[in-house]
A = this chain, B = another copy of it.
Amino acid sequence: MGRGEWVVAVAGATGAVGREMLKTLEQREFPAKTVKALASSRSAGTTVPYAGGELTVEEMTEKSFEGVDIALFSAGGSTSKKFAPFAVKSGCVVIDNSSAWRMDPEVPLVVPEVNPDDVDWHKGIIANPNCSTIQMVVALKPLHNAAKIKRVIVSTYQAVSGTGQKAITELETQVRQLFNMKDPEAKVYPYQIAFNCLPQIDVFSDGDYTFEEIKMIKETNKIMGDDSIRVTATTVRVPVFYGHSEAVNIETEKKLTAKDARAILSQAPGITVYDNPSEKIYPMPIHAAGEDDVFVGRIREDNTVDNGLHLWIVADNIRKGAALNAVQIAELIIARDKVRVPA
């Protein structure tokens, strides 16, 4: 079926991210010899679209990864915890989209535009960062290289697709219920998401930060390879289907004007600067949806500190925030000849 040499498995192939992974492999002409679609027993036997045809979903078992070179996991943290070690034992490299391994010091956490070299020390598992983190670090890294970022304050506006297909359905259902004068039912989220903002993503933890906020803080430091960057976050779910937005305020060691920042970001990989206020040009979720790039706009100097800047960063959370980044990591390990687990 394929044009390449690699046997690829997508674990969690029936979910929103799994389907996007298959689409991305196809669109980027990934050099796959075979692609296997894996999921829980519940989905086994169903089909998922791939390359103009369909793949029959197989139940994921301890033996599913025999003969597989690269497995893209997007099946939730507990499934990753359970099955990734079997995959690694089978000689397969796992690129995992859950939060299960991200902060493990033995596991590289990679955004190809930011820290490609980190794939070199993988021990079988490479973690794909949180969606909100990925789009932020793609924009921050070139600015950090130029002027050293000291502090980051981010407020997010996150789409329901980040929670999965069931949350997409929930938003749509709640809107229909409200427009038909019915009480909206909240099953996926603790409260109604339609026409509302939920200032809680994931569960609460230390200091009353949510895990989503803690992920953005810790993952940013790990990916940027610099614990001296002070990051803080407020993460909020908004009634948007696709595309996460972020209002990001940064403070740098060296002065960067807005013009400097625009010039730097315009040259940087994976970024489209979309910033012309006089023409009402700025990034929005409806434009970023379906796109690969991270869009940056509303670039402004913040004069309340010496070297402050505002950025408005939008990306498709399912593509660059998940599926695309994972496939890019797979491409990277092929290019760097790292599709093998060290002995």
Contacts and interface: CB of A to CB of B under 8 A. Distances in A.
A302 B208 contact: no
B301 A151 contact: no
A285 interface: yes
A145 interface: no
A23 B81 CA distance: 57
A298 interface: yes
Given A176-B179, A238-B197, A298 B232 contact: no
A47 B46 CA distance: 60
Nearest to A304: B230
Interface string A162-205: 00000000001001100100000000001110011111100010
A155 interface: yes
B234 A298 contact: yes
Contacts of A234: 155, 247, 249, 298, 310, 312
Q: How large is the interface on A (under 10, 10 to 19, 20 to 34, 35 or more residues)?
A: 35 or more
Contacts of A198: 284
A155 B199 CA distance: 13
A9 interface: no
A225 to B, nearest CB: 18
A241 interface: yes
A190 B153 contact: no
Contacts of A297: 199
A78 to B, nearest CB: 22
B151 A282 contact: no
A308 interface: yes
B204 A277 contact: yes
A329 to B, nearest CB: 28
Interface in A313-335: 314
A316 to B, nearest CB: 13
A240 interface: yes
A278 interface: yes
Most B CB atoms within 10 A — which of A247, A249, A278, A285? Answer: A247
Given A207-B301, A209-B300, A299-B208, A236 B245 contact: yes
16 contacts: A157-B197, A191-B284, A196-B285, A197-B245, A199-B247, A199-B282, A199-B284, A199-B312, A200-B277, A207-B300, A208-B277, A232-B249, A234-B249, A234-B310, A234-B312, A236-B245
Given A196-B284, A208-B298, A236-B245, 10 more contacts: A155-B155, A155-B234, A155-B247, A175-B175, A175-B179, A200-B282, A207-B258, A232-B302, A234-B298, A239-B240
